[in-house]
Amino acid sequence: MAPSKKKNKTRGLPKQEVLKSVCLRPGRQVDIVVAIDLEKNYIDTRPSILHDLHPSGRLILGQTAPPLAQRYIGREIEVTFLAKYNLEPGGVWVRVGYKTQLLGIFENYRLSQTLTEPVLVVDQPQTLEQSTLRLDFRLVPPMDQDLHLYLWPEQIELTIVDISLGGVRFSHDRTMAFELKQRISVCIESEGWSLVSDAEVVRTQNLQEAGKPNLYHTAIHFEDLDQARRKQLSEVLHRLLRFRLAHRSGMLEK
């Protein structure tokens, strides 16, 4: 009997040379998976950016938000990249990544003659494989915390159902209709901080089966968040997450 072929985890992906040429470019946005707790449906993922490919064969990544502390050195993390590939007409967004150890954290790494930044150092990937994890954990905002969503520039407030670095799901009545692939703009506000982003409607659903025929849930995907704004949003979401976890543990008064 002929031996069975080993299953190829990257079947259907572009060749490794293509993946690496697309992903391993200075300026490419990166998402780093720090911790996973599937039982609690929680994945700690933090945005970063690829600053440089060091001649030693290592990647120089920007410090995350919230920042990784020195105690993370030596721990296994997953470095992932989201990019568009011509796998079919119109292109396909695919997330690939690899697991590696965090080798170092430097507070004042010189990126140029006039610029120093805090950075993380990891080895370059041998192989990039498709990531099937949902990296953008969805946070249900605590009711008593200051987080608001507005349709922009109309400044119509929308009720947040859950929110992540990738997008937000909100509820509304039938007088406000949204269509799939519709482009809209929204504003997120929290404790004096605000962020305006273009977004695309990826799902809209009537809750008639749940006994609420006049209520809709619509999900949107953020379209144009650069690295700086992704970091700001990440800090807000992690602050709210820490508040929620502290509330659950009894560390905060209810």
* Model confidence band, residue 236 (pLDDT cutoffs 50, 70, 90): confident
The string of pLDDT tens digits covering residues 178-224 is 998 899 999 999 988 999 999 999 888 887 666 677 889 999 989 87
- The answer on pLDDT for 102 being more than 80 is yes
Position 42 scores a pLDDT of: 59
Does a structural domain hold residue 5? Answer: no
Question: Same structural domain for residues 47 and 109?
Answer: yes
- The answer on pLDDT for 43 being more than 90 is no
The CA distance from 150 to 35, in Å, is 32
Average pLDDT of the chain, as a whole number: 83
Tokens of 43: 């994945």
The string of pLDDT tens digits covering residues 108-166 is 999 888 889 999 999 999 999 988 655 556 778 777 778 999 999 999 999 999 888 88
Minimum mean pLDDT among 1-5, 42-46, 55-59: which range?
Answer: 1-5
Question: Same structural domain for residues 109 and 194?
Answer: no
Position 124 scores a pLDDT of: 96
Question: Same structural domain for residues 158 and 230?
Answer: yes
- The answer on pLDDT for 251 being more than 80 is no
Question: Same structural domain for residues 82 and 168?
Answer: no
Question: Same structural domain for residues 169 and 121?
Answer: no
Identify the CATH number of the domain in which residue 20 sits.
2.30.110.10
**Residue 79, CA atoms < 13 Å, CB-side half-sphere:** 31
Does a structural domain hold residue 59? Answer: yes
Does a structural domain hold residue 187? Answer: yes
Position 38 scores a pLDDT of: 46
Does a structural domain hold residue 136? Answer: no
Nearest to 202, CA basis, from 172, 185, 174, 180? 180
- The answer on pLDDT for 101 being more than 70 is yes
Q: Which residue stretches of the chain are H helix? A: 16-23, 227-249
The CA distance from 74 to 101, in Å, is 6
Mean pLDDT of 41-61: 87
Tokens of 13: 């992906």
Question: Same structural domain for residues 115 and 61?
Answer: yes
Does a structural domain hold residue 7? Answer: no
Main-chain dihedrals φ then ψ at residue 244, nearest 5 degrees = -65, -45
Does a structural domain hold residue 166? Answer: yes
Question: Same structural domain for residues 172 and 110?
Answer: no
Question: Same structural domain for residues 221 and 173?
Answer: yes
pTM of the model: 0.57
The domain in which residue 214 lies consists of 148-249
Instruction: Please tell me the total count of domains within the chain.
Output: 2
- In angstroms, the Cα distances linking 110 to 51, 65, 106, 107, 153 are 11, 20, 10, 10, 40
- Residue ending a domain, among 104, 130, 156, is 130
* Model confidence band, residue 47 (pLDDT cutoffs 50, 70, 90): confident
More confident of the two residues 60 and 232: 60
